[in-house]
Amino acid sequence: ISHKPGSSLCHNIMYCPGRLYPLLVGMALSSHQSATNNPSVVTWLVDGSNLRCSRGVPHERDSIIEELQKIASPSDMKTTNCRDVLISNVVLVFDGDHNETFHKSRLSSWFQYIVTDGKDKQKDRGDDYIIEQALPELKDLDGRVHLVTADKDLGKRARATGIMKGGSIVHPPKFWKQYLPNLQVKQNRNEVTKSRMK
């Protein structure tokens, strides 16, 4: 189907032969379905203990939490009314120290951090939580899951779940130095745009 340069497809539909009209309608519906099926949420699932051991990354949990909060979407963004906006969801998991019990803190709708139980001194307790709890909880979200870790075994286990939906394994130093600043700038722009629309 062709149309003259400078003219809209909708304008040209009016002059298409009747037998082509069902085809055009089908194309329009297909295009609409493709657009509305695009992922509305991208999740950054972060192996916090692995991240904090990386070069150039603060060792303090609070510093990491503060920086990652800046890339999470605000609580008032919902998947039901933001199909044209990609929501940024952050799940941060730390290994608990030997004097810590499990706790989960949801600081907003799209940001939470978890500290696993460290009293039993179980090895890979953060990794197990990511595979057994964090990923299954993300299964019903409509979007990709990117895992931030340098742990190759954890990466393989995460991919094997099938829940990442084409998401990537991101190396922690690269995430901290390249991804994080860009994501923070993008989130700031989204906030400015949102405030202007009010």
Question: For 63-75, what is each residue's pLDDT tens digit?
Answer: 999 999 999 999 8
Give dist(CA 41, CA 166) in Å, integer. Answer: 13
Mean pLDDT of 109-135: 91
Q: pLDDT at position 177, please?
A: 97
pTM value > 0.85: no
For the segment 68-94, the average pLDDT, to the nearest whole number, is 83
Report the alpha-carbon distance of residue 114 to residue 189 in Å, rounded: 28
pLDDT of amino acid 10: 39
For the cut 50, the answer to whether the pLDDT of residue 188 exceeds it is yes
Give residue 193's pLDDT: 64
Query: What is the percentage of the chain residues whose pLDDT exceeds 90?
Result: 60
Can you say how many angstroms the Cα of residue 107 is from the centroid of all Cα atoms in its chain?
A: 16
- β-strand pairing of 111-115 with 103-108: antiparallel
Instruction: Output phi, psi for 192, to 5 deg.
Output: -65, -45
Of the candidates 53, 152, 146, 50, the one whose C-alpha atom is nearest the C-alpha of residue 94 is 50
Residue 33 neighbours by CB distance under 10 Å:
9
**Is there a contact between 57 and 176 (Cβ–Cβ < 8 Å)?**
yes
* pLDDT tens digit sequence for 46-55: 999 999 999 9
> What are φ and ψ of residue 71, in 5° steps?
-105, -5
Burial 97-130 (b: 16+ CB within 10 A, else e): eeeeeeeeeeeeebbbbbbbbbeeeeebbbbbbb
